[in-house]
Structure 1
Amino acid sequence: MSSFICPHYFPSICSSKHALTNNPTTLFQVGLPNFRRKSQFTRLSPRCLFEIPRQVDPLDEKKKRSFSMKECTISIALAVGLIVGAPALNWQSEAQAFTTPTLPDLAVLISGPPIKDPEALLRYGLPINNKAIREVQKPLEDITESLKVAGVKALDSVERNLKQASRAFKNGKTVIVSGLAESKKEHGMEFLAKLETGMDELQQIVEDRNRNGVAAKQRELLRYVGSVEEDMVDGFPYEVPEEYQSMPLLKGRAVVEMKVKVKDNPNLEDCLFRIVLDGYNAPVTAGNFVDLVKRHFYDGMEIQRADGFVVQTGDPEGPAEGFIDPSTEKPRTIPLEIMVEGEKVPFYGATLEELGLYKAQTKLPFNAFGTMAMAREEFENNSGSSQIFWLLKESELTPSNANILDGRYSVFGYVTENEDYLADLKVGDVIESMQVVSGVENLVNPSYKIAG
């Protein structure tokens, strides 16, 4: 059987000290979003990178034309194993390992419809456990699927969604109110009132058969839901490990606006992207980034990679490949940081594969267009510094809920406005400015205030 990855899915990137060799493992890894190195580009040939010979019965034309489901699963699993770096190229033992009961792990990852909306991912990423508000949230989110029905027939489904949400709100309001943090209760009650009024307004939109008015009102209601859910978080829910406690930490959420000046694009001159950073699930990574934004580190920096797979920036001018803290004159690096569903504290310094957590689901997955993560050196988990990237699209090996990037890179936020325009950015486009527009009070140990 054969395992392969074509450059259409993993385009070339700047070469690093782990340059292309005869080792097929390196060929697979070169397309992943590692550090952008200050050296020549290495481009891949326009053909599949690696293929293991597969014995096929020449008389069985059906087998020649397609894999069986089992064969496809094993092929994908082998490819994933190659991408993450197999310790040895003993193909017989590797193939046998993938045909053992570890295969259901892959099936677990790809089961169920994935959540791709960045704001929904942020809502589900909050450290709360209030079933009543989730029962309001879910049918409001389901309106998106209802609107996929053609014409005004969609409004019948929308009405059912809305009635379910309204009923859940009425039955669960006491539980929702009791879940608000005491210090945020007044603010939360304000948004609950807006949510209740807004659902009545959406009901009127449906009764007027105004299909075009549904989506905007739905998004407004879900933002009210998100605000209520954020008001349920009482302080920061855990202690960051001692070795990272002195670093800049984002203990909560923050919003950054990034203005990009676009060159050589007749359809777009500049664009303002809204980025929500999640310090609940990645306090070290998000805190490091907010600190750099406050230093104006990214202002005037160019987009340095834009290949249809990711958009990447953050490599400063000069020999350094990350941020040099002027107060210490040393590089500042941060650990790989990954929060997993069911855990109270992120894992640090190891990929989920290295931890043996093959079934684990990350709290901040690479599901959304514009997922934001920290780049790092290929074989150094704790080498993140200032280079960041945004995932642009899915491929056969990076589908939502079955993503080879999940558990390997620190996700710390999502682009929630104008994310589609990320695909229009090109190498050389300039970040005119980045600024924190809310949540800076959640940054602790801000090093930007220290004179360097």
Structure 2
Amino acid sequence: MFPFQQAPGLSFLLPEQYLNLLFAKKGALFLFSRLTGRGTVEFTIERGNGSTFSPQAGGEARSTATIQVVIDGYSAPLTAGNFAKLVRERSDNCIAIDIISYSYMHGACGIILTQDYQVMDGAYDGTKLSCTSQAVLSDQTLDRSIGYSVPLEIMPSGQFEPLYKTTLSVQDGELPVLPLSVYGAVAMAHSEDSEEYSSPNQFFFYLYDKRNAGLGGLSFDEGQFSVFGYATAGREILSQIKTGDIIRSAKLLEGRDRLVLPNEN
């Protein structure tokens, strides 16, 4: 079990280790970002082959389309916070570190300096998309350069704080507050190294289809991913996205005042 501490702006306690050291930047040690409420991200999607998106009734065909996503820091504060940070991150050189040990009693930690990395302003701008029958997935080119992972984060229904690095057993009746089994659910892909962690930047829109679901209409992957939001506007665009289309821009429209960055703790 994790020792817990009160996280400012949230009604529940976060594991103490997620309020402690993650990476070093210009000699200063930083913490996980977190979102202490909800925010709105707007994606502008551009056709990769120069074609157009089908217009809505009375509209014109366009080569770009917008999708708005509400991200939920109440139920997934670390995942939503990391995502919001990447959307608005400023370019800056950083040094990634690995935490190899931590003593809560003595407050000591061991770190290994690994590699320099750079996250540009609007980290998803220019990101290519790929499609499967069940998801629209962002490219993972930033994964290795970012140098850290975010723990799997799922809040079970009826509970008051998320579980970390733990999946849910839907067969035993465990259900998440933010279900994957919704068309347009937004979740982080798993880390390449361990399914106890999410990728630091690769996310996907889930194209839920009840015809491909299991008992009770739930996705076979329910309770296995860190879901942190839902497409609320432009959902009709999701079915039109094709492999090779591009995120031209991603903007944090709402929630900047609820985004707690590492140097603001």
CA distance in 1, matches of 2:204, 2:79: 13
- How far apart are 1:282 and its partner, in Å? 0.3
The alpha-carbon distance between structure 1 residues 413 and 383, as it changes in their structure 2 partners (threshold 3 A), is closer
CA distance in 2, matches of 1:249, 1:324: 21
Q: Which residue of 2 aligns with 1:272?
A: 66
The structure whose residues are more often strand, as a share, is: 2
- How far apart are 1:366 and its partner, in Å? 1.7
Q: Which residue of 2 aligns with 1:252?
A: 37
CA distance in 1, matches of 2:238, 2:229: 15
Unaligned runs of 5+ in 2: 1-8, 20-30, 55-61, 90-121
- How far apart are 1:401 and its partner, in Å? 4.8
- 1:263 has 2:55 as partner: no
Residue 381 (structure 1) aligned to one of 196, 199, 211: 196
- 1:342 has 2:161 as partner: no
Q: Conserved in 2, the CA contact under 8 Å of 1:365 and 1:401?
A: no
Q: How does 1:184-333 map to 2 (within 5 A)?
A: 235-245=9-19, 246-264=31-49, 265-266=51-52, 267=54, 268-295=62-89, 296-303=122-129, 305-316=130-141, 322=143, 324-325=145-146, 331-333=147-149
CA distance in 2, matches of 1:309, 1:383: 19
Q: Conserved in 2, the CA contact under 8 Å of 1:314 and 1:322?
A: no
The alpha-carbon distance between structure 1 residues 323 and 280, as it changes in their structure 2 partners (threshold 3 A), is farther
Q: Conserved in 1, the CA contact under 8 Å of 2:40 and 2:252?
A: yes
CA distance in 2, matches of 1:270, 1:389: 19
Q: Conserved in 1, the CA contact under 8 Å of 2:188 and 2:198?
A: no
Residue 359 (structure 1) aligned to one of 154, 173, 178: 173
The alpha-carbon distance between structure 1 residues 299 and 323, as it changes in their structure 2 partners (threshold 3 A), is farther
Provide the TM-score with structure 2 as the length reference: 0.70
For residues 333-364 of structure 1, give each alpha carbon's deviation from its aligned partner in whole angstroms, at most 9, with x where no partner exists.
001100011111101001113xx982112100
Q: Conserved in 1, the CA contact under 8 Å of 2:128 and 2:245?
A: yes
Question: What's the C-alpha RMSD, in Å, of the aligned pairs?
Answer: 2.3
Provide the TM-score with structure 1 as the length reference: 0.42
The alpha-carbon distance between structure 1 residues 435 and 367, as it changes in their structure 2 partners (threshold 3 A), is same
Q: Conserved in 2, the CA contact under 8 Å of 1:369 and 1:420?
A: no
- 1:443 has 2:259 as partner: yes
Give the secondary structure class of the aligned counterpart of 1:302: strand
CA distance in 2, matches of 1:389, 1:398: 18
Identity %: 32
- How far apart are 1:380 and its partner, in Å? 2.5
Alignment-mate amino acid for residue 12 of structure 2: Y
Residues 411-420 or 264-273, more deviating: 264-273
CA distance in 2, matches of 1:431, 1:358: 38
The alpha-carbon distance between structure 1 residues 446 and 435, as it changes in their structure 2 partners (threshold 3 A), is farther
CA distance in 2, matches of 1:383, 1:371: 16
Tell me the matched-pair count: 203
Give the secondary structure class of the aligned counterpart of 1:385: strand
Runs of 4+ in 1 over 4 A off after TM superposition: none
Give the secondary structure class of the aligned counterpart of 1:432: strand
Relative contact order, higher structure (CA 8 A, sep 6+): 2
CA distance in 1, matches of 2:217, 2:226: 16
Alignment-mate amino acid for residue 299 of structure 1: D
Give the secondary structure class of the aligned counterpart of 2:230: strand
The alpha-carbon distance between structure 1 residues 366 and 291, as it changes in their structure 2 partners (threshold 3 A), is same
For residues 98-145 of structure 1, give each alpha carbon's deviation from its aligned partner in whole angstroms, at most 9, with x where no partner exists.
xxxxxxxxxxxxxxxxxxxxxxxxxxxxxxxxxxxxxxxxxxxxxxxx
CA distance in 2, matches of 1:385, 1:293: 12
Alignment-mate amino acid for residue 387 of structure 1: Q
Q: Conserved in 2, the CA contact under 8 Å of 1:323 and 1:386?
A: no
The structure whose residues are more often helix, as a share, is: 1
